[in-house]
Structure formats: structure tokens, C-alpha cells
Amino acid sequence: MWMSWLAVLGGLIFLVWSAERFVHGAAALARNLGVSPLIIGMTIMGFGTSAPEMLVSGIAASSGNPGMGIGNALGSNIANIALVLGATALIMPLTVDSGILRREFPVLFAVTLLAGALLLDGELDRFDGTILLGSTALLVFWMIWLGKRSQSVTTDVHPATSLETADPLTSEFEREVPASLSTGQAIFWAVLGLVALVLSSKLLVWGAVDIARELGVSDLVIGLTIIAIGTSLPELAASVMSALKGEDDMAVGNVIGSNMFNLLAVLALPGLIAPSILEPAVLQRDFPVVVGLTLVLFLMAYGFRSPGRINRLEGGLLLAGFAGYMAWLGMTGLN
């Protein structure tokens, strides 16, 4: 069984590296083609941080393990809020002051409710997958529209009369989107990152399936634990680095964007590739946790009359909640 654990460890390491290289190359290529940093950050970088989840879920479903893909999608959302933001806030308290993020919070709620409504019948079939994938396209178009609208207001309206002008996400994305790569270099890193993502995802899924069989746990639980935590490592690295640089809004924005793509694009793939009946625990245990943590994130970070703030105490509570959920899985997840 040590070979399986080695495969999982190696797959996770290369998954994190390849995701970073893919996003780096794709963002640089888009910038070289004249796309604004704000739109790159909201779409390519947000979508790119969910690339590991997408590939792992797609490969798991094509290998006959759709439960692992479903667990990955839901578990990654749980890990992003409770583990990623919890650990980040514990290291550096987060202040959220972006008007753009305030517009994304209701959309995240809508996406969560849509996914819940589609799963409510206890199945994830091709119709559900088609709805989720179509909604992914709508989400991308909305993000592009929001980015262009924010830029237009910034350009055309006097700063003193525009709330959008000083939105911190604009300057944060401007600093983070690569500007020093040539188009050829950007294409090279994007392609290499994508190929490495596919190979590392295959390695990770192979090891995880073998471990699930040996330990006698379901594919769903493996997806909710080992794979979800592993595929959330890029978000953890990005959020911690953003917080240490003082880019708090980007740290939270990474999680909001990733969670929306997880519930749409990532969850769509098991439905499209391998329609299946959901394990009862998905609706009784796991999805309610996703909804609850999404609500907690909103209450902490929205900022109703002042900038939202996730302090160290709240970060510690999020981490404690994640530990409690992992313990719950340990007690209820055996076949």
C-alpha cells in the first residue's frame, strides 16, 4: 500500500506545481493579448485555481469513481473556507474592502442554491451536468462584464464620485498578473502546466482509489478528505501569499471564485461523464456543511457598513470547524 501513498503524495506535489505553472502561463498569455489584469484575475486565475479539481473529478468519473469527483467538488469548498481562509486569517487577519467581492457573494449563494436544487433528487445525471456546465459559461461572461463595467466606471467617472475606482482588486491583480513573459514563454508554461496537471491527476486518482479499497472507505470520503485537501493546496498557497503581501481582497477572492467554479464546472463533470445515484451522506452531511460555511463566510467577510474582517479568532474557529468535520467523516465514513 506504500506505493499508493507515494502516488498520492507525488500526485499532490506535481498537481500544485503544475496548477501554478498553468495559471502563470495562461495569465501572461492573456495579458500579452491585451486582456486587462482585472478580467484575467477574475476569470483565468479564478478558473485556473479550480483546474486541479476539474481534472481530478473528470478522471475519477471516467475511471468509474464518480463519488470521488463529487466528494472532491464539495470537499474542496469546505476546505477552501474552513482550512484555507482559517489558516490564512490565523497567520494574517484579513480585511475585505472590495466592492467587486460584494457583488460576487450573492452570486456564490445563487450558485450554491442551484447546485443544491439539482442534487435534491438524490442523483447527479447528464441533465444536471449540462445545467451546471452552462451556468459555468454564464458565470464567466458575468465576470467579464463585471470587470469591464468596473474598468469603465474607473475610467469615465471622477474618482471622488466612484466607489469602483478605488477597488483594491484592480491594483492587486495588476501587481500579480505576470508581465515579463514573452508570448512564446507563456504558451510553453501553459501547455506544460496543463500536461503535468493531467498526468499528476491520473497519478493521484490511481493512488486514492487503491487507498480507498485498502482502508474500506467510500470513494466519496476519499474525495472529501485526501483529494479535497490536496487540490485545495494551490488556493492555500495563493491566499497565504496574498495576505502576506497585504492583498487581503485577493486572498478572499481566490476562495470565492474557486468555490463558484467547484460547484459548477467541477461538479458538472461526474454528472456528464458517469451519471450516478448520490450517497445519502451527500445531502444529509456534506452539502449542509457547504451551505453553512458559505453563510459563515458571508457573515464574516461581507462588511455591511464597514470593511469585512476575518480576525485570528474567527480563523481559529474555522480551523476548529474543519477539524471537527474531518473527525465526523472519520466516525461516519467507513463502508
User: In whole angstroms, what is the distance from residue 324 CA to residue 335 CA?
Assistant: 20
Give residue 183's pLDDT.
Answer: 87
| Residue 314 CA: distances (Å) to CA of 86, 233, 246, 269, 300 | 7, 21, 19, 34, 8
Radius of gyration of the chain (CA): 19
Give residue 154's pLDDT.
Answer: 52
For residue 96, the SS3 value is strand
For the entire predicted model, the pTM comes to 0.88
Q: What's the N-to-C CA distance of the chain in angstroms?
A: 19
Domain limits at 87? 2-332
Higher pLDDT, 275 or 231: 275
With vertex at residue 329, the alpha carbon angle to CA 324 and CA 333, rounded to the nearest 5 degrees, is 165
H or E element at residue 51:
helix 51-62
Nearest alpha-carbon partner for 3 in 206, 200, 197: 206
For residue 91, the SS3 value is helix
Nearest alpha-carbon partner for 226 in 208, 200, 201, 206: 208
Higher pLDDT, 29 or 87: 87
Residue with cell 498520492: 8
For residue 198, the SS3 value is helix
Please, what is the average pLDDT of the chain?
Answer: 86
pLDDT in tens, 36-55: 777 787 777 777 778 888 98
Nearest alpha-carbon partner for 97 in 166, 37, 192, 200: 166
**What backbone phi and psi angles, to 5 degrees, belong to 217?**
-110, 160
pLDDT in tens, 296-330: 999 888 767 677 889 999 999 999 999 999 999 98
Sequence length of the chain is: 335
The CATH number of residue 96's host domain is 1.20.1420.30
Indicate whether 199 pLDDT > 80: yes
Number of H helices, E strands in the chain: 18, 4
Q: What percent of the chain has pLDDT over 90?
A: 38
Alpha-helix residue ranges (DSSP H) falling in the chain: 2-32, 37-40, 46-48, 51-62, 66-78, 86-91, 99-119, 126-156, 168-176, 183-215, 219-222, 228-231, 233-244, 248-261, 267-273, 280-281, 287-301, 312-332
CA dihedral 254, 257, 260, 265 (to 10 degrees): -100
H or E element at residue 277:
strand 276-277
Query: Per the structure, how many domains does the chain have?
Result: 1
User: Using N-to-C axis directions, what is the helix angle for 51-62 and 2-32, rounded to 10°?
Assistant: 130
Higher pLDDT, 290 or 231: 290
DSSP 256-271: HHHHHHIIIIIHHHHH
Mean pLDDT of 78-91: 94
User: In whole angstroms, what is the distance from residue 95 CA to residue 253 CA?
Assistant: 12
Indicate whether 108 pLDDT > 50: yes
Residue with cell 442554491: 113
- C-alpha 30: how far from its chain's center? 21
User: In whole angstroms, what is the distance from residue 234 CA to residue 56 CA?
Assistant: 14
Indicate whether 233 pLDDT > 90: no
pLDDT in tens, 132-177: 999 999 999 988 887 777 666 554 444 444 444 456 777 777 777 7
